[in-house]
Amino acid sequence: MTEASSSDGTSEVRVGFAGLGTMGILMAANLARAGFALTVWNRTSGRADELRTLGVEEAASPATLARQCDVVVTCLTDSPQVEAVLFGPDGLVEGLAAGTLVVDCSTISPTRAVDFEARLGARDVSMIDAPVSGGTEGARLGTLTIMVGGEGPDVLRATPVLSAMGTSVNHLGPIGSGQWAKAINQVILAGTYLAVAEGVTLGLRAGLDVEKIVEVLGGGAAGSWVLANRSGRMIDDSYPLGFKISLHRKDLAIALDLAREVGAVLPVTAMAATLEDGLIAQGYGDDDNSALARQVRRLSGL
């Protein structure tokens, strides 16, 4: 398959997008706004309706989607779902022509990414892993940070597509490298969420103006994305969805498995995972992962 460009520089590559979840639907919308000829597929019907005003078409199955596209982006929940959409009945692989590129923006195990790439490669189909960070805000605004693993020519080919969804596209090495970076990202976030939750709770228990304190701390060494964007939710004890805590727990499972493989000890990550298990058991799995503060607040009598 070949790719062309229109006179105004807008790519005319045919792009497919599989997975219109909380993040995926926003990422797909930005691809459409960037001028790509976009076809989408989602496991449950109806999700594509709000994209139709952007000229987006909907495919009946992953295989049908693949037959219409030069590049297919997947943004799915976990490794089993990625495998099913790629290789299951009526999966993408049934429609992918030789030379097609698969860009997996899901967060999965690096080992599985390597396996999927090898299986696709046997069919002369290329794949890169490109997990994202930045939450629903970044997905909506097209400012995601994208961590990419794969062969250089494949990454170069995917860059215009990725750049429509994020402002920081980073090639980190061979296939699986993006997933390693995403695992590390989630480890650091787990500790940051816990630290901000503890700081907010300490301030609340002391009867302080925590909003003012957060404003002051944001300009110093304690400043972080979590402090700026999620401390308000922790203060209010209200956690509207940005990124599901159940999905963050899935990501921490990947990180903890990787840590065992390489002999790293991650005590803060293990603690965060345990607290998240409790939240999920209590029915809060669909809350934003800033709901870690819910546990810290309750332990502190708030």
Judge whether 14-174 and 180-299 match in fold: no
The tokens describing 296, both together, are: 């810290």
Residue 3 has pLDDT above 90, yes or no: no
**Whether the predicted pLDDT of 2 surpasses 80:** no
Instruction: Kindly tell me if the per-residue pLDDT of 117 is higher than 50.
Output: yes
In angstroms, what is the C-alpha Rg of the chain?
20
3-state SS assignment for residue 53: helix
Strand 126-129 to strand 101-104: parallel, antiparallel, or no bridges (unpaired)?
Answer: parallel
Q: What is the mean pLDDT of the chain?
A: 94
How large is the average pLDDT for residues 231-253? 94
State the pLDDT at residue 97.
96
What are the tokens at 86? 């790629």
Proportion of the chain above pLDDT 90, given as a percent: 92
What pLDDT is stored for residue 8 in this prediction? 39
Amino acid at 55: G
pLDDT in tens, 65-101: 999 999 999 999 999 999 999 999 999 999 999 999 9
Model confidence pLDDT, tens digit, residues 34-73 = 999 999 999 988 889 989 999 999 999 999 999 999 999 9
Give the mean model confidence (pLDDT) for residues 242-249: 92
Q: pLDDT value at position 7?
A: 41
State how far the Cα of 208 lies from the Cα of 216, in Å rounded to an integer: 13
Q: Tens digit of pLDDT for each residue in 164-176?
A: 999 999 999 999 9
Question: What is the model's pLDDT at position 11?
Answer: 58
For the chain, what are the domain ranges?
Answer: 14-174, 180-299
pLDDT at 180 exceeding the cut of 50: yes
User: Would you name the residues annotated as active-site residues?
Assistant: 182
Pick the CATH number of 180-299 from 3.40.50.620, 3.40.30.10, 1.10.1040.10, 1.10.3720.10: 1.10.1040.10
Whether 9 has a pLDDT exceeding 90, the answer reads: no
Note the CATH number of domain 14-174: 3.40.50.720
Q: How confident is the model at residue 10 (pLDDT cuts 50, 70, 90)?
A: very low
Pairing of strands 144-149, 132-133: antiparallel
- Which residue's entry shows tokens 């922790």? 234
